[in-house]
Amino acid sequence: MFKLIHRDKNSKARLGMLSTAHGDVETPCFMPVGTHGTIKGLYPKDVEESGAQIMLSNTYHLFLRPGMDVIRKAGGLHKFISWEKPILTDSGGYQVFSLALLRKLSDKGVEFQSHIDGSKHFITPEDIIDIQSELGSDIIMPLDECVHYPCARAQAEIAMERTINWAKRSHNHKINLSKSAPNKAQLLFGIVQGATYEDLRNKCAKELVGIDFDGYSIGGVSVGEPSNLIYNILNLTSELLPVEKPRYAMGIGYPQDILEAVERGVDMFDCVVPTRYGRNGTAFTSAGKVKIGNSPYIKDFKPLDKECSCYTCSNFTRAYLRHLFNAQEMLGLTLLSLHNVHFFLNLAKGIREAIKVNQFREFKQDFLGRYLND
């Protein structure tokens, strides 16, 4: 469960401890994304040594490939991927609506065709809970209906009402399942939807708080809307959620957005940004982003980031990393991805240390002053 340890005296930033079956997680925390059960291009031990406390994986993708029979026979997701720390699994709702073919929604559930082989599937909110129970993840999500930006109010309201209905069914099913399932310690988070409409967000949050989930996710953000709307949604929604429960902003992953969310009282974040940018030759540094393939780095024998202690920065130069990318060597994307994951995890660590001494706003100002000056 969640324990609120300290509140920054000059902002809404919070320090907390989230206890799970596979260990405790200090918050605010950043969760590297391992959609298919792996952080792309990295060994699990390297991710752990970089400071990862928890990783995220995806129910939709794992359900389709390798399939539940394989994971079940392996003894659950932790054993299958050799990861002993906590795992959060997303329900896959966003993937169903963005990747799946010929999807049909109803209050009962969603029918879709796999984007991999075209096979047909019908899943209910109860099925999603059953799948995640078998995965054995520590934090699980209910099926929700996602909408894109911009979204008409009528469509957003239908999706919000369906999300509430599915949340109630998911919560009830987990209670019944817990009576016989071995994974009784799984934490179930509710997902607040409502697009950019404040009254819909308000209604959804109040309904979900009434159900009493173990934590609350702010969904439907960072789907194309401008930053000011994202921050408004985060501020509005976090104000509606219980102080004693963890708050998770789904898909929030750029450094400046993480800092803005923390200032608004959000505790958990995930994004594919670190490894996606790393695979494409961009490193995040304390002085801003570095596009390593650019010509100024041909004879640049400095580390990526002089303030970084990761394996990449401790052993290799910008010139060498540029060479690896231009030569299309796999090591290049691995080293940049490793650095980026370390950078985001270290950012979260710095945030926690600043909150402890009521210096979050000073930390934010100093960080952004250097990071955005690129």
Cβ atoms 136, 183 nearer than 8 A:
yes
Q: Closest by alpha carbon to 267, among 241, 244, 248?
A: 248
In sequence order, what are the beta bridge partners of 190? 216
Chain position carrying tokens 């930390």: 363
Q: Read off the tokens for 9.
A: 């005296």
The residue type at 99: L
**What's the rounded Cα separation, in Å, for the pair 317 and 221?**
37
pTM: 0.97
Three-state DSSP at 61 gives helix
The residue type at 258: I
Q: pLDDT, tens digit, for every residue of 316-364?
A: 999 999 999 999 999 999 999 999 999 999 999 999 999 999 999 999 9
Q: pLDDT, tens digit, for every residue of 237-270?
A: 999 999 999 999 999 999 999 999 999 999 999 9
Active site residues: 90, 270
What are the structural domains, with CATH classification, of the chain?
2-271 (3.20.20.105), 276-374 (no CATH)
What is the radius of gyration, based on Cα positions, of the chain? 20
The residue type at 331: L
Three-state DSSP at 102 gives strand
Q: pLDDT, tens digit, for every residue of 83-140?
A: 999 999 999 888 877 776 778 889 999 998 888 999 999 999 999 999 999 999 999 9
